[in-house]
Amino acid sequence: MWINFCALIRIRVGGENLTLDCASKPVFQSVEVVSKYYQQNPWAIQCQTSYLAKMRLLGQQKHRFLLLENLTYHYRCPCVLDLKMGTRHYGDDASENKRKRQTKKCLESTSSKLGVRMNGMQVLSQVTDTYTCYDKYYGRSLTVQGLIKVIERFFHNGVNFRTDLIECLIEKLNTIRQILLESNGYRFYSSSLLVIYEGHAYANQVHFINESFLFLCK
């Protein structure tokens, strides 16, 4: 296995300085290695490579980032669905050009009809032990029926439909809905809904979004 590293990223967390190696577009000897290290999601690699290329063009300038929690950390084989919510995807301070771009994306996708579109997905097949991945561009191209099929695909592991997850998901969606209904004066433009479940057939525990994190949104 060979991995090319294009940069060292130095971050500061809790007063401590950390240095991370960031891989550029990797060259692997086998697909199995891609599955092991990158969960077979080429979109994640493409996004990382593209952004680091932009950083290199800026030379030695310092960059500020928000460090987000990796919600998939405790999962052995995370299945992830990212849904962009709402019919308006820009804030009040957005430029006229950005407003037009975001409005066009909304009108040309399921966002205008349903108030939701698929922004990315990976789901594990227990038959082939491989991931099927979709990026945001595929999500924008979906019709209403196409989006329904993709969501159905997300809950199918290649063997059966994960009906055991539906009740828990609906319960958590209702909790989020109630929080938003009680949040008078708040607007969540271009928000995302992230759904994660354990795709491995023999994992000991299924993790869901931590409720303490959920209630931070209130």
Cα distances (angstroms) measured from residue 155 to each of 69, 133, 202, 206:
24, 14, 17, 14
> What are the backbone angles phi and psi of residue 149, rounded to the nearest 5°?
-65, -40
48-71: pLDDT as tens digits: 777 777 777 776 677 777 788 888
Average pLDDT on 190-196 reads 92
The pLDDT of 140-164, averaged and rounded, is: 94
Residue 18: pLDDT band by 50, 70, 90 thresholds?
Answer: low
Structure confidence by residue, pLDDT tens digits, 97-124: 999 999 999 999 999 999 999 999 999 9
What CATH fold (topology level) applies to the domain 78-217? D-amino Acid Aminotransferase; Chain A, domain 1 (3.30.470)
Could you state, in order of their start, the residue ranges of all structural domains in the chain?
Answer: 5-57, 78-217
pLDDT for 67 equals 80
